[in-house]
Homo-oligomer: A and B are copies of this chain.
Amino acid sequence: MPKVGMQPIRCNQLIQATLESIDQVGLAESSIAHIARAAKLSTGIISHYFGDKDGLLEATMRELLRNLRDSVSRARRGAKATPRAQLRAIIDGNFVPTQVSSSAMRAWLTFWAASMHQPRLRRLQRANDRRLHSNLCCQFLRVMPLEQARDAARGLAALIDGLWLRGSLQGADFAGDKARNVAYDYVDLLLDRSQFEGEPALGPPSL
């Protein structure tokens, strides 16, 4: 019998090495040889487990997305059920230290750019995007009408992405707290106006 159960170990090794390589030299310079060297494995192992380079990149992006999803889920579970608390939790999930490390943010920007011309990556990005929008919209809908909620979700999603984008363009590790506060503040502005001006869309504005 062959060495068994290595698959998840090797896959993770290679995905981490890919993230490391993208962080350090960028996707364009992240040759298979470079990644394999970073993982202290041979080049052949990549096709063995991922078929080809695109397979590894896709798996790496999936890992990134899964981490984010988990991070947001965890934050939301730990928060109260009010719209404000839930929205803050979503923001928290997006700005926990693991997500705002220089390495993670660079990977995000890299995959965003790559997804423009790679259908597989694109699909992943779109699905993630829709989930974020839908999560935000859901919460806003509890306190404002549909059209307003959509715009609020669009704005908050853009703000989060924009904060990330700017984070990834800074070399040093990014001031996650500062970013989070900017987003918190935006949520407050949106919710406070809603409470002040209009009627909640569904039920009482139990903020």
Q: Are A151 and B117 in contact (CB under 8 A)?
A: no
What is the bound-complex CA distance between A27 and B27, given in angstroms?
A: 11
A109 at interface by CB-CB < 8 Å: yes
What is the bound-complex CA distance between A30 and B129, given in angstroms?
A: 27
A52 at interface by CB-CB < 8 Å: no
* Chain B residues within 8 Å of A158, by CB: 159, 162-163, 165-166, 179, 182
A112 at interface by CB-CB < 8 Å: yes
- Chain A, residues 177-194, CB within 8 Å of chain B (1/0): the string is 011011001100110010
A63 at interface by CB-CB < 8 Å: no
A160 at interface by CB-CB < 8 Å: yes
What is the bound-complex CA distance between A117 and B22, given in angstroms?
A: 9
Q: State which of B110, B113, B162 has its C-beta within 8 Å of the C-beta of A160.
A: B162
Q: Known interface pairs A158-B162, A162-B157, A163-B158. Does A151 touch B115 (Cβ–Cβ under 8 Å)?
A: no
A106 at interface by CB-CB < 8 Å: yes
A205 at interface by CB-CB < 8 Å: no
* Chain B residues within 8 Å of A193, by CB: 189
A136 to chain B, nearest CB (A): 13
A30 to chain B, nearest CB (A): 10
What is the bound-complex CA distance between A185 and B125, given in angstroms?
A: 27
A161 at interface by CB-CB < 8 Å: yes
Q: Known interface pairs A155-B159, A159-B158, A186-B155. Does A168 touch B117 (Cβ–Cβ under 8 Å)?
A: no
A-side interface residues toward B, CB under 8 Å? 25-29, 106, 109-110, 112-117, 125-126, 129, 151, 154-155, 157-163, 165-166, 168-169, 178-179, 181-182, 185-186, 189-190, 193
Q: Can you spell out 18 A-B residue pairs with CB atoms less than 8 angstroms apart?
A: A26-B116, A109-B112, A109-B113, A113-B114, A116-B168, A116-B169, A126-B169, A129-B166, A151-B181, A151-B185, A154-B178, A154-B182, A155-B182, A157-B162, A161-B161, A161-B165, A162-B162, A162-B163
